[in-house]
Amino acid sequence: MTERTLSIIKPDATRRNLTGKINAVIEEAGLRIVGQRRIRMSRAQAEAFYGIHKEKPFFGELVEFMTSGPVVVQVLEGEGAVSRYREVMGATNPANAAPGTIRQLYAESFTGNSVHGSDSPENARDEISQFFTEADIVG
Ligand code: CMP
């Protein structure tokens, strides 16, 4: 089924000019970038986006990091896009990421793991709506 997922290229990756290289991996995996914007996340946006992790010990570091530089928010579309993109990203902890995945290729650390992708179709809809209106998405 054609699906959409939210991707974020994180500050560790934008700082190293890796947006194009990461987009190439995404496109080669058969996912289409149907919405894309480079933004500076506000603290409120980052706290809301990662609200599910509010009680976690790494929450403060995560919010600091996500607001430390530009990010590129993207809507990816394709067959089973949510799970497909999770395969393409590799494991959250880059130490466990499979060869050829974005995180194995580019991530610096658990926090600086270069990309985010939604973990379910329901969360994808919610996460996309935090950054995009339908008019911003051109399939
Ligand atoms: P992401 O997929 O964006 O979702 C939450 C983020 O929190 C995750 O990627 C990691 O970058 C970060 N994260 C998750 N677990 C840890 C952890 N144990 N230590 C530090 N950062 C973490």
Task: Please write the tens of the pLDDT for every residue from 27-48.
Answer: 999 999 999 999 999 999 999 9
The CA-based dihedral angle spanning residues 67, 40, 88, 119, taken in that order and rounded to the nearest 10 degrees? 70
Ligand 1 centroid to Cα of residue 49, in Å, is 13
pLDDT for 136 equals 97
Residues with CB under 6 A from ligand 1: 53, 58, 62, 92, 110-111, 113, 116
Q: Considering the candidates 29, 116, 127, 132, report the single residue annotated as catalytic.
A: 116
* Mean pLDDT, range 41-70, rounded to an integer: 98
Q: Provide the pLDDT confidence category of residue 72 given band limits of 50, 70 and 90.
A: very high
Ligand 1 centroid to Cα of residue 47, in Å, is 13
pLDDT digits (tens, 9 = 90+) for 5-14: 999 999 999 9
Residue 10 has which token pair? 């994180």
pLDDT digits (tens, 9 = 90+) for 76-92: 999 999 999 999 999 99
pLDDT for 113 equals 98
CA 129-136-126 angle, 5° bins: 10
Residue 53 has which token pair? 């992790």
Measured by CA distance, the residue closest to atom 2 of ligand 1 is 116
**53 included as an active-site residue:** no
